[in-house]
Structure 1
Amino acid sequence: MKMSGPNGDPEVPAVEGIIEDEDDFNEEEYAAINSMLDQINSCLDDLEERNDALNGKLHELLESNRQARQEFRAQLNEKKVEEQKQPPSEG
């Protein structure tokens, strides 16, 4: 008489269905995986360098923009001061 398992499934002998922990990879497959990981690492390093370069350029652009705005404001303020010094023209 066969007994069923805890979930009502038929009992499976202990030897069947067990996956052994032996590594099925050979050295060539490990070398290929290692090579792929090296390529991925190299790509990530390249992306990081490009990101750092872009961040540096963005910082320079923002600083340049800030300086240009300050100069523009200063010019506007000078014009306002000059306009206030000149008496209104009578016509």
Structure 2
Amino acid sequence: MAGSDDNKPNNDTESNNIESNEENEENVREEYVLLDTKLDELNQALDLLEQKNDDIHKRLVELLQSNRDIRQQLKNENTEIN
């Protein structure tokens, strides 16, 4: 166009860039919220697994002690019989 400066952005281009940047920022915020939610869910799942692991460990320690006690009783009974 004669008499116009092609290097100068017009208001429509600036407005579109601002809207595009705002949309991108909103998308980034939504992604962070989604990521935060997923991390919370993962943390809860890991807490549950840790609790189950602790419960299993506790039961195994109890079972081990019970087996030791039984073996000692059997050993004592065998000693008394002989």
Same fold (TM over 0.5): yes
Q: How many residues align?
A: 67
* Residue 79 (1) aligns with residue 29 (2): no
Q: Which amino acid aligns with 1:39?
A: N
Larger radius of gyration: 1
Aligned-residue CA RMSD (Å): 1.9
Counterpart AA for 1:27: S
Deviation at 1:43, TM superposition (A): 0.7
Structure 2, gaps ≥5 residues long: 1-12
Cα distance in 2, alignment partners of residues 67 and 41 from structure 1 = 39
In the alignment, structure 1 segments of 5+ residues that lack a partner are 1-24
Say whether residues 1:88 and 2:78 are aligned partners. yes
Between Structure 1 and Structure 2, which shows a larger proportion of helix residues?
2
Which residue of 30, 34, 58 maps to 1:70?
Answer: 58
Cα distance in 1 between the residues matched to 2:27 and 2:61: 51
TM-score (norm 2): 0.74
Residue identity over aligned pairs, in percent, reads 13
